[in-house]
Amino acid sequence: ERVVEFCRSKGIQNTFISVELPQANGQAESVNKVILRALKRRLASKGEAWVAHISPILWSYHTTPQSSTGEAPFTMIYGSDAMIPVEIDPPSWRRETITQEENNRALEENLDMIEEKRERSHFREFAIKQRAARRYNTIVRQRKFQEGDLVLKRPMGKDKGGKFAANWE
């Protein structure tokens, strides 16, 4: 209740998803597919437990620019690029040359630009979806049926028959 009140006071819109049924959320399902693919790649060469590999996989997912938005999820949320662990110790060029004041100024500029970045990525994602729909619609052929034509009919309703039943009548 306190979290909801805090989010409301900051203008944050919460979206809750069911952890038990990720299939209900398309984004969660999509992310899970990417994570599982990465886990399979890593575990194919090593016989180790998957738990040891999940942190680096999640980090790489969150810091890699996505093709749909052109930005990394980390950047979309926090408004700046993530500093990878390799840059921390020993300090990288970025850590040694940029002063605290310059860093603060850059962070403020990034926060000012975050809405524009989000809007740009939203338009980019929308354009990609439109292109995919256009491509799909050119492939799909409209068919007209006459009375008496034979067609496959999918079973509808509760009595579908289960996973191994025929998916047509």
Instruction: Report how far residue 34's alpha carbon sits from residue 65's, in angstroms, rounded to the nearest whole number.
Output: 13
Query: Which tens digits make up the pLDDT trace of 68-117?
Result: 888 888 888 887 788 777 777 777 777 788 888 988 888 888 888 888 88
Query: Which tens digits make up the pLDDT trace of 46-80?
Result: 666 777 778 888 888 888 888 888 888 888 888 77
Give the Å distances, CA to CA, from 67 to 71, 89, 145. Answer: 8, 30, 40
pLDDT exceeds cutoff 60 at 20:
no
Q: What is the pTM of this model?
A: 0.51
CA dihedral 90, 92, 96, 100 (to 10 degrees): -110
Provide the residue ranges of all domains of the chain, joining segments of one domain with +: 1-63, 75-139
Select the more confidently predicted residue: 42 or 119.
119
Instruction: Report how far residue 111's alpha carbon sits from residue 78's, in angstroms, rounded to the nearest whole number.
Output: 8
pLDDT exceeds cutoff 60 at 34:
yes
Cβ pair 125, 69 in contact under 8 A: yes
Q: What is the arithmetic mean of pLDDT over 12-40?
A: 70
pLDDT confidence bin for 130, thresholds 50/70/90: very high
Q: What is the arithmetic mean of pLDDT over 130-159?
A: 83
